[in-house]
């Protein structure tokens, strides 16, 4: 598994997992309705440089975002993180790798 910056060529993989019902709701976002919505969000990820692609065997299977805690709690500047992954990878050993990535980013 690889944690890396997003690329515009990730659009198809991003839309594939982000349009599945149940993937994004826990993180507060609805499934993407179309490729244009995914493209706009991918552009934001690339420009803001705080959400990263999780790649496995050359395919993007999820994302990990890092935010300032102060965006949620006033006067707290710790970093927080969250990740979403394709529903195909739920219940597989990849979750342990994602947890390790979260620890490394902390």
pLDDT tens profile 53-75: 988 889 998 888 876 655 555 55
Decide: residue 55, CB within 10 A, 0-12 exposed, 13-18 middle, 19+ buried.
Answer: middle
Domain interval for residue 80: 2-105
CB contact set of 24 (below 8 Å; sequence gap of 6+): 18, 30, 31, 32, 84
Tell me the pTM. Answer: 0.69
Total domain count for the chain? Answer: 1
CATH number of domain containing 28: 3.40.630.30
Residue 11 near residue 38, CB atoms below 8 Å: yes
Q: What does the pLDDT look like over 8-43, one tens digit per residue?
A: 999 999 999 899 888 777 777 889 999 999 999 999
Q: Find the distance separating the first CA and the last CA of the chain, reported in whole Å.
A: 18
């Amino acid at each position: 598994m690889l944690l890396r910056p997003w690329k515009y060529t990730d659009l198809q993989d991003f839309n594939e997992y982000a349009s599945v019902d149940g993937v994004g709701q826990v993180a507060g976002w609805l499934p993407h309705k179309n490729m244009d919505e995914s493209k706009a969000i991918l552009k934001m990820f690339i420009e803001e440089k705080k959400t990263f692609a999780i790649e496995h065997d050359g395919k993007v299977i999820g994302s990990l975002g890092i935010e300032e805690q102060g965006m949620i709690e006033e006067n707290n500047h710790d970093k927080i993180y969250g990740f979403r992954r394709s529903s195909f990878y739920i219940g597989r050993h990849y979750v342990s790798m994602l947890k390790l990535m979260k620890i490394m980013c902390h």
